[in-house]
């Protein structure tokens, strides 16, 4: 897990997805084949860091390793380029969330990894 | 292509089998299926299972189960497609027989869930989803289905009571099912007041965690004469995939894999959805049941839950659906679920469903999905 985290750190830290060199469509998570034109020429591209909530939930039974973050707010955000991203939404409560709310991506601690206690960071969302 | 028949079925009760291992459960269901057609010696074992590596630190299930059944030497392997592992195991054996490669196969789905702690079970179920972009952020499988349910309610003005219809019906159907995990009726109020797991989904919106195994013997038309009991023909079995995570889809409420698999299965069986008079849908979560009947073309978009509430999917008077309780009432030992669905359809089409018997049924359709409609397997079965 810690090696895969290292490999993906630019995706997690900076929300870097991919863009198709042929039709300019953008994707996050990155894809190997463009979903629009089928091209395999994809290059890294920064995703916009703002968007709106498409759907959300307050999870009360977290996965192992996330117990200290219970209850956890999760959402799917549609970024300004149309790409949808899943992430946590923080610094708010479920009562203050609505579909359509504007949010922005921030850099936060995601989890402490197993017995090593290595800290993983990545994007979360806050209300804009 | 040759015709393929279900010759016999066998299964364990679904629930907390504290004293039974994954192999004990598999062998119990396998012995029952083998006993139902004693003259048939299977030429292949196909095991459907999702996460034995995590639950029991055990892979290599094909050989393990073949040996456990006393059938050392029998070719055997495991098929995995998340919660659709059972359906995919059946489809695999179906194609081997249909193509003429073999004449008979034992198909067996098994899942041992209760050896894990609740947090570990959530993690195991979540391996159906992206490790890198879903699990990493702490999103469990329930939380994804909760976000799907919220969107469904928002887009189509679906109420809490509408959403409760499938769970209420499932529990009512399971009352008389001897192998069901929950043989207890629940009311709309019970669902609405049950504990929130991941809002808007409550405990009674979600299929339970349980252990179980189901098996069946499949035979070709060439050896079907050796079977004493009644036969049900597998008219077709097809599968399809969707974009991996549901948030990657343009229309998140379109169960495109189910649509595609059902379309292919009905086409190759020469039947249409209106011919189906017995249905097994993958009601892992209340909203998933609704989106499934919509994808099958049985309910209009956004109407699945309301149709269920109005009785359209009642076993008595509607299109008989999940008459042993479905995933919600019978239970959902994930890798076994697809085989339970087909076994229960077999019982219905052969008139052996006891108190759960639906009237005058002759064509069954079973829909088994893995992930959030990421993989779908659809079987069409016909009374012989």
Query: Where do the domains of chain A lie, and which CATH numbers do they carry?
Result: 2-127 (2.40.50.840)
Residue B218 belongs to a domain: yes
| Interface contact A61-B197, CB threshold 8 A | yes
* pLDDT higher than threshold 80 for residue A1: no
| Interface contact B139-A59, CB threshold 8 A | yes
DSSP string, B307-375: HHHTTTT-TTTSSEE-TT-HHHHT---HHHHHHHHHHHHHHHHTT--GGGPPTT--EEEEEEEETTTTE
Dist CA A74 CA A53 (whole Å): 10
Percent of chain A with pLDDT over 70: 99
Sign of the dihedral through C-alpha A121, A125, A126, A128 = positive
B37 and B166, same structural domain?
no
Alpha helices in A16-123 (DSSP H): none
B344 and B359, same structural domain?
yes
Neighbours of B218 (CB within 10 A): 28
B299 and B152, same structural domain?
yes
* Chain B CA closest to residue A83: B248
Dist CA A128 CA A75 (whole Å): 14
B259 and B166, same structural domain?
yes
Say what the pLDDT of residue B119 is: 86
pLDDT (tens digit, 9 = 90+) per residue, B235-261?
999 999 999 999 999 999 999 999 999
Of B107, B42, B51, B33, nearest in space to B77 by CA: B107
Q: Judging by DSSP bridges, how do beta strands B4-11 and A118-127 pair with one another?
A: unpaired
Burial B50-82 (b: 16+ CB within 10 A, else e): bbbbbbbeeeebbbbbbebbebeebbbebbbbb
CATH code of the domain covering residue B323: 3.40.47.10
- Provide the number of structural domains found in chain B: 2
Q: Which two tokens stand for residue B186?
A: 């629940």
* pLDDT higher than threshold 90 for residue A113: no
Nearest-CB residue to A64 (from B123, B154, B245)? B123
Q: Name residues whose C-beta falls within 8 Å of residue B189's C-beta, 6 or more positions apart in sequence.
A: none
Question: By the 8 A CB rule, do B30 and B37 touch?
Answer: no
Nearest-CB residue to B198 (from A58, A76, A84)? A58
Of the two residues A117 and B212, the one the predictor is more confident about is B212
B112 and B30, same structural domain?
yes
Q: Which of B179, B282, B332, B379 is catalytic?
A: B332
Residue B320 belongs to a domain: yes
| Interface contact A88-B122, CB threshold 8 A | no
Per-residue pLDDT of chain B (384 residues; tens, 9 = 90+): 899 999 999 999 999 999 999 999 999 999 999 999 999 999 999 999 999 999 999 999 999 999 999 999 999 999 999 999 999 999 999 999 999 999 999 999 999 999 999 889 999 999 999 999 999 999 999 999 999 999 999 999 999 999 999 999 999 999 999 999 999 999 999 999 999 999 999 999 999 999 999 999 999 999 999 999 999 999 999 999 999 999 999 999 999 999 999 999 999 999 999 999 999 999 999 999 999 999 999 999 999 999 999 999 999 999 999 999 999 999 999 999 999 999 999 999 999 999 999 999 999 999 999 999 999 999 999 998
Residue B220 belongs to a domain: yes
Residue B104 belongs to a domain: yes
Neighbouring-strand partners of residue B198: A59, B201
Nearest Cα of chain A lies from the Cα of B383 at a distance, in angstroms, of 42
Residue B123 belongs to a domain: no
Residue B331's region, left for phi above 0, alpha for psi from -120 to 50, else beta, is left
DSSP A28: S
B355 and B273, same structural domain?
yes
Q: Which two tokens stand for residue B97?
A: 């027989």
Neighbouring-strand partners of residue A27: A18
Query: Is B83 noted as a catalytic residue in this protein?
Result: yes
Whole-complex ipTM: 0.97
B306 and B356, same structural domain?
yes
Say what the pLDDT of residue B58 is: 98
Q: How far is CA B254 from the centre of its chain?
A: 20
B370 and B226, same structural domain?
no
B83 and B141, same structural domain?
no
Q: What is the mean pLDDT of residues A100-108?
A: 98
Nearest-CB residue to B147 (from A11, A76, A124)? A76
Question: By the 8 A CB rule, do B169 and B313 touch?
Answer: yes
DSSP helix/strand/coil, B170 = helix
B94 and B228, same structural domain?
yes
Looking at A3-128, which runs of residues are DSSP E strands? 16-20, 26-27, 42-46, 50-59, 72-79, 84-88, 102-113, 118-127
- Does the beta carbon of A79 lie under 8 angstroms from any beta carbon of chain B? no
| Interface contact A4-B150, CB threshold 8 A | no
Containing domain of residue B40, as a range?
A: 4-117+210-232
* Chain B CA closest to residue A125: B137
B155 and B27, same structural domain?
no
| Per-residue H/E/C for B11-64 | ECCCECCCCCCHHHHHHHHHHHHHHCCCCCCCCCEEEECCCHHHHCCCCCHHHH
DSSP A62: P
């Amino acid at each position: 897990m810690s090696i895969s985290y290292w490999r993906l750190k630019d995706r997690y830290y900076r929300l870097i997805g991919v863009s198709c060199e042929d039709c300019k469509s953008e994707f996050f998570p990155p894809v190997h084949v463009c979903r629009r034109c089928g091209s395999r020429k994809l290059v890294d591209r920064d995703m916009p860091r703002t968007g709106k909530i498409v759907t959300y939930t307050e999870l009360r039974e977290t996965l192992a390793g996330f117990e200290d973050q219970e209850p956890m707010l999760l959402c799917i955000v549609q970024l300004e380029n149309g790409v949808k991203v899943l992430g946590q939404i923080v610094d708010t409560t479920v009562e203050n969330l609505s579909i359509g709310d504007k949010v922005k991506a921030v850099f936060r601690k995601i989890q402490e990894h197993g017995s090593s206690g290595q800290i993983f960071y990545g994007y979360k969302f806050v209300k804009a | 292509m040759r015709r393929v028949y279900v010759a016999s079925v066998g299964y364990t009760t679904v629930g907390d089998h504290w004293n039974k291992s994954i192999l004990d459960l598999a062998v119990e269901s396998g012995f029952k299926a083998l006993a139902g057609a004693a003259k048939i010696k299977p030429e292949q074992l196909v095991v459907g299972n999702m996460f034995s590596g995590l639950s029991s630190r055990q892979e290599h299930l094909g050989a393990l189960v073949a040996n456990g059944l006393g059938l050392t030497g029998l070719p055997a392997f495991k098929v995995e497609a998340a919660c659709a592992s059972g359906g995919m195991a059946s489809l695999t054996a179906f194609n081997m027989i249909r193509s003429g490669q073999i004449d008979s196969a034992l198909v067996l789905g098994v899942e041992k869930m209760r050896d894990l702690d609740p947090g570990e079970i959530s993690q195991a179920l979540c391996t159906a989803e992206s490790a890198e972009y879903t699990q990493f952020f702490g999103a469990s499988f329930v939380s994804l289905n909760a976000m799907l349910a919220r969107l469904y309610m928002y887009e189509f003005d679906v109420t809490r009571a509408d959403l409760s219809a499938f769970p209420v019906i499932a529990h009512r159907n399971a009352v008389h099912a001897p192998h069901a995990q929950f043989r207890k009726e629940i009311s709309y109020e019970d669902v609405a007041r049950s504990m929130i797991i991941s809002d808007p989904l409550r405990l009674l919106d979600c299929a339970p965690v349980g252990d179980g195994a189901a098996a069946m013997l499949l035979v070709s038309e060439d050896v079907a004469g050796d079977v004493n009991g009644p036969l049900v023909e597998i008219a077709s079995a097809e599968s399809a995939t969707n974009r991996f995570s549901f948030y990657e889809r343009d229309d998140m409420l379109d169960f495109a894999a189910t649509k595609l698999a059902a379309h292919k299965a009905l086409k190759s069986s020469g039947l249409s959805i209106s011919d189906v008079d017995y249905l097994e849908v993958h009601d892992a979560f209340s909203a998933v049941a609704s989106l499934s009947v919509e994808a099958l073309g049985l309910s209009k978009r956004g109407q699945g839950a309301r149709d269920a509430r109005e009785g359209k999917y009642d076993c008595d008077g509607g299109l008989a659906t999940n008459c042993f309780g479905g995933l919600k009432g019978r239970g959902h030992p994930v890798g076994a679920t697809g085989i339970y669905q087909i076994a229960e359809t077999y019982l219905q089409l052969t008139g052996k469903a006891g108190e759960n018997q639906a009237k005058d049924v002759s064509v069954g359709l079973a829909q088994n999905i893995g992930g959030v409609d990421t993989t779908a397997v659809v079987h069409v079965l016909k009374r012989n």
